[in-house]
Amino acid sequence: MKVSPVVLNAHYKLLVVGGGASGCAISHHFAKCLPKNQVAVLDPSTKHYYQPGFTLVGGGLMNFNSLVRQERDMIHPNSTWINEGVQQFRPELSKILTTSGEEITYDYLVIATGLQLRYDMVKGLPEALDTPGVCSIYHPKYAQKTFKELERFQSGNAIFTFPNTPIKCAGAPQKICYIAEDYFTKHGKREGATVMYNTTLGRIFGVEKYAKALTKIVETRNIQLNTRHNLVEVKPQEREAVFQLLDSEGKPTDNYKTYEYSLLHVGPPCSPIAPLREAVSTGLTDANGWVNVDPLSLQSVKYDNVFGIGDCLNTPNAKTAAAISSQFKALRKNLHSVMDGKGVVAQYDGYASCPLVVDSRHAILAEFNSAGPLETLPVDQAKPMVISYFMKRYLMPFLYWNFLVKGLWNGPATIRKILHLGMSK
């Protein structure tokens, strides 16, 4: 691998912007197919995190250090790693501008920038995160702080929030809620605790089958479910969280409700990165800054030599690591075909998965697309199972490090067909 901190008027056959799970998968695959150093990965980070493990770190169920690798070790040796960020997309010129002001041109571009955690969209939250009681498993620093807050908690309101924006791993805010409630119970703190899950949604989960199972868990364990509650301000000195109430369609109202908290876990608002939000006028992104692609082919609706993958897209699927594997399967086929002068040939099936950990030994393995459940195992995966937890804790990190980021994992579709005797999609 060639590490390039400064690039002068460089040109690449394939430029991948973003070195997370999706960017690594694509770049690894094409680095083995294209001539050496014809693939470049642009990413400013020096560390690569297994982010699905942050929830377990926050619950004291996983060691943080096991989730971290050096970014240089994640890039294929035939690729060039440009350790910078993107300042501006110029898709009409097949060009990007780096944060240091250098220009890079490309024949083909894959945008894999993920999304940006927007703690700044909640008044007082950035400052509150460094005060007692406030935490968030979405950030490396605050994921580690979360378990410390569970240990310190003695009594009072423990509030867990879900934002009024798209969010990566939409199940994570309630996973940490269940893990925390289980921890309080096992450590004699539950009687003095009021555990709340405040969500902007109209129900606890988007897929009906899993929503029913999760609602039963919430009721059985006396967790207060407050729907249509949007966190808009945190007052750390008063230890208060202010929520704007939304109407039945999820639109803001003039009504607010304030809760005192002993523990406040925040699922942060999220958005595309700033250069994508600023690229709306080019047609590269939609009005909200999400990369505007065909939801099946993952090809830009305006630029034939541009594709997108992962959380930065405006596709309707849930933003999870599992979705990336199935997107990768379609994108690599389509990009190969377009490079060969042909049209797109494959479609993304909308698959996503969310292993909903409900205590320290059980999980609901939610697998679905827009049509509903799309389960791999020939059992009812809406039931909390030990095997689902152990898959989340042990199997999925193994698949991530050894297969997904190396461009070797296409999702569970083939396994699903085998286990369902060919009668599943």
**pLDDT above 80: residue 420:** no
pLDDT digits (tens, 9 = 90+) for 200-254: 999 999 999 999 999 999 999 999 999 999 999 999 999 999 999 999 999 999 9
Between 3 and 177, whose confidence is greater? Answer: 177
Q: Report d(CA 138, CA 167) in Å as an integer.
A: 10
Check for a shared fold between 11-115+272-340 and 120-270. yes
**pLDDT above 90: residue 9:** no
| pTM (two decimals) | 0.95
The domains of the chain are located at: 11-115+272-340, 120-270, 352-420
Residues 137 and 172: beta-carbon distance below 8 Å: yes
The confidence band for 340, taking pLDDT boundaries of 50, 70 and 90, is: very high
Nearest 5°: the CA angle 344, 349, 351 is 140
pLDDT at 3: 56
Does domain 11-115+272-340 correspond to CATH entry 1.10.357.10?
Answer: no
**pLDDT above 90: residue 421:** no
pLDDT digits (tens, 9 = 90+) for 183-208: 999 999 999 999 999 999 999 999 99
DSSP designation for 35: P
**pLDDT above 90: residue 4:** no
pLDDT digits (tens, 9 = 90+) for 134-191: 999 999 999 999 999 999 999 999 999 999 999 999 999 999 999 999 999 999 999 9
For residue 296, the one-letter residue type is L
Nearest 5°: the CA angle 176, 308, 375 is 50
Alpha carbon distances (Å) from 48 to 249, 400, 420 = 38, 12, 35
Give catalytic residues, as residue numbers: 169, 354
Q: Which fold has domain 120-270?
A: FAD/NAD(P)-binding domain (3.50.50)
